[in-house]
Amino acid sequence: MKNFKFFFQLFALVVFCFATTISHAQSVQLLPGSTITTHDYETAAADGAENVSLVAFQKPSSQIRLASYFISSTGSVDLQNTLDLGNAKQANLTMLSTTRAVLVQILTDNKLKVMVFKIGLGNGNIEEKASWIGPVVNNIKPAIVKRSVSSFAVGVSIGAGNFRLTTFTVDPNSNIYK
């Protein structure tokens, strides 16, 4: 009988937690702002910090375009600036802060490239500060994750089911250290 009572107490707790989660999840609202690009893009990667968002678009020609956006508290999305880069097969990015972003790419020769960018406050200007070119890797979208405002990790496929995870730091002058 104790097991039977314990089961129903546990079941009631699970139902309560589920109902609470659903009621809170329904309170999420879509903000009214959005933006639509006027170019054909095949893929995109995006990240943001506070009210700044950065998107890496990839055109059908494999050219990478970075675009910075300001997102207001009401949800309006305003394009601030763009920067066209060279061609790459795959790209991903993360923002370390509202003024610093990292882009990782698989170049057309299958080499890994990591780039650090400064994002201008207020105007969204995108300026390349440093880059690092690494070894040949598989043509699979690289993973990137922020570890802190001055460090990140990049994961790439290096073939035959093998995966390489590399950590990087960025000093105040935007130099990249592996």
In three-state secondary structure terms, 143 is strand
- pLDDT at 49 (0 to 100): 86
Strand segments, DSSP code E, in 23-161 are 43-49, 52-58, 63-71, 77-97, 100-107, 111-119, 126-136, 143-148, 151-159
Would strands 52-58 and 126-136 be described as parallel, antiparallel, or unpaired?
Answer: unpaired
What's the pTM?
Answer: 0.78
How far apart (Å, rounded) are the C-alpha atoms in residues 99 and 96?
Answer: 8
The per-residue pLDDT string of the chain (178 residues; one tens digit each, 9 = 90 and over) reads 555 454 445 555 444 444 444 444 444 444 455 556 666 767 788 888 888 999 998 888 889 999 999 988 888 889 999 999 999 999 999 999 999 999 999 999 999 999 999 999 989 999 999 999 999 999 889 999 999 999 999 999 888 888 999 999 999 999 999 9
Q: Which of 118, 52, 47 is nearest to 79 (CA)?
A: 52
Q: Which of 170, 80, 94, 85 is nearest to 128 (CA)?
A: 85
